[in-house]
């Protein structure tokens, strides 16, 4: 599966930070959340991006405004469907891996105001 190694590494990284993985690859028509974790009382929706090399830009540069809008819509849908409300404490973030999925540099990028 494409991206599975990067998502496995991302999940392990987030668990090492003390988070509980709640769901992986949550899909709705037109959108997906790679990882949903819980940090205390907050749900965190994480997009995972990995680039082996920077020839076409780094992993962070591959996240478009459209992708972020679809991610936000999927997060709101998850909250409504799984928790019956969309006003729970939550946030969006992007986890990038620049280099090989197993050994590349991991960076967490919080998305303010998303």
How confident is the model at residue 56, as a pLDDT?
A: 74
Q: Which of 113, 99, 114 is nearest to 6 (CA)?
A: 99
Per-residue pLDDT tens over the stretch 42-77: 999 999 999 887 777 788 888 889 999 999 999 999
How confident is the model at residue 72, as a pLDDT?
A: 93
Place 5 in a pLDDT band, splitting at 50, 70 and 90. very high
Architecture of the domain spanning 4-111: 3-Layer(aba) Sandwich (3.40)
pTM for this model (two decimals): 0.91
């Amino acid at each position: 599966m494409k991206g599975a190694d990067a998502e496995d590494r991302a999940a392990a990284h987030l668990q090492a930070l003390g988070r509980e993985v709640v769901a992986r690859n949550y899909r709705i028509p037109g959108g997906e959340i790679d990882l949903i974790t819980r940090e205390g009382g907050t749900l965190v929706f994480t997009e995972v991006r990995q680039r082996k090399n920077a020839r076409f830009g780094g992993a962070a540069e591959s996240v478009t405004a459209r992708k972020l809008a679809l991610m936000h819509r999927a997060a709101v849908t998850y909250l409504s469907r799984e928790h019956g409300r969309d006003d729970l404490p939550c946030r969006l973030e992007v986890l990038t891996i620049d280099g090989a999925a197993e050994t590349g540099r991991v960076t967490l990028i919080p998305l303010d105001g998303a």
